[in-house]
Amino acid sequence: MFIDFTATLVKCDCCGKYYDAVLGVELWFRSKQEATEAVKDDGWEEIDGKLYCASCYEYNEDTDEYEVKNDRNRETVIN
């Protein structure tokens, strides 16, 4: 038989990369909460409700906050 189910993938809000901890295989989770906790444990960060991979955010010592390094989506809109 076939059983349909709902899965959650995580995609970086900046570069569009999918969370793939294992050799390019996209990992899915059972819920947004589970996904958020898992990717945060693996170096991703949630900023203003969006998720960013380790390449796309940096820690700002002056403000003591994480900031998006380079929002490529925003640049695309401007250009």
Minimum gap (Å) between residue 37 Cβ and Zn ion? 18
Residue 14 or 39 with smaller CB distance to Zn ion: 14
Q: How far is CA 12 from CA 3, 6, 61, 63, 71, in A?
A: 29, 20, 23, 23, 10
Query: What is the closest distance, in whole angstroms, from the C-beta atom of residue 71 to Zn ion in the complex?
Result: 10
In whole angstroms, give the CA distance from residue 78 to residue 70: 13
Residue 64 CB, nearest approach to Zn ion (Å)? 22
When computed from its CA atoms, the radius of gyration of the chain, rounded to whole angstroms, is 14
Nearer Cβ to Zn ion, position 10 or 56? Answer: 56
Closest CB to Zn ion among residues 1, 25: 25
